[in-house]
Amino acid sequence: MKVYSLSGPSGSGKSTSALQFAHDHQIEAIIDDGLLIKNGQKIAGTSAKFEKNTIRAVRRAIFQDEAHRKEVMEAIKKQNIQSILIIGTSDKMTKKIAEQLELGPIQQFYYIDDIRSKNEIKLSQFVRFTQGKHLMPIPYRQVEQNFFRRIIQKGFDIFTKNRVKLGETTIVQPDFHRQTIDISPNVYLDLIKYVVSNHPAVAKVDSVQFTMKKFQPKIYVSLHIKTPVDYDVIEKMEQLQKQISVQFQRHFEFEPMHILIFLKGIM
């Protein structure tokens, strides 16, 4: 069996990237947080995300429970899996999982910053820190629904560049993740309005919108510019985009994916 490792800090987007990464490297199956996943479907295992505390979650993820370990080992054998990707927070963790499941040595080690940009990683960590949301790379219908206190919701579909569906995701808020910071949407809007209204080329701000769909922050600003227009308009608007981006980095430690500025007129 060919065994691969993908590691990175908690909340850096490993599960979000797993299906696409496995497809690109022609890897049959994935081990992620106690689950065996193949073709975007859960084959066996129990997710560590449904444990009561962090210690139990780690024990679940590294297969210290004997019944859990045997279940996944038997499924790997039954499925005749020839290549597998192990996801963890470090090389030490993925090596431990490979040892527990008797998969043999790991041939290739990959890291989250090899496949995701720094901004994507920071954004994923921001969402984890502020909202406590964890993503599972399996369909909503396969997630255990008999957990009264947990918030479980459908995520989004994963497609290749050619729009071939690889799988689905599910968003959960585990019991063990309790430390979060709630940020009102008005905070983002107020920051954007402040930056835009103080730009020397801006005469009037008509509207500001901020969205965070599918963990992709987008900003829409419509405005009027000042007359006389004796300056390079495109250059000034690019400066404004940069200023917004810098302030988001400063206050929230991530940059918006898109900052769209619409010129409505001249005043």
The sheet that has 258-266: what strands, in order across it? 202-213, 216-225, 258-266
Residue 142 lies in a domain: yes
**What's the pLDDT score for residue 71?**
97
Distances (CA, A) of 223 to 3, 215, 265: 54, 26, 7
Contact 89, 77 (CB under 8 A): no
113 and 49 in a common domain: yes
199 and 153 in a common domain: no
The tally of domains found in the chain comes to: 2
Final residue before a domain boundary, out of 173, 199, 224: 173
Nearest to 192 by CA among 216, 210, 215, 212: 210
* Rounded CA Rg of the chain: 22
Q: How far apart are CA 233 and CA 231, in angstroms?
A: 6
49 and 105 in a common domain: yes
148 and 24 in a common domain: yes
- H/E segment holding residue 236: helix 233-252
Amino acid at 246: V
127 and 49 in a common domain: yes
Q: Structure pTM?
A: 0.74
Nearest to 209 by CA among 264, 149, 262, 154: 262
**What's the pLDDT score for residue 148?**
42
Domain of 198, in residue numbers? 185-266
The CATH number that applies at residue 198 is: 3.30.70.1350
Residue 178 lies in a domain: no
Chain length of the chain: 267
Please give the average pLDDT of every successive group of 10 residues along the chain, which has 267 residues.
95 91 95 95 91 87 96 96 96 97 96 91 85 84 60 79 84 72 89 96 96 86 96 96 94 90 95
**What's the pLDDT score for residue 51?**
84
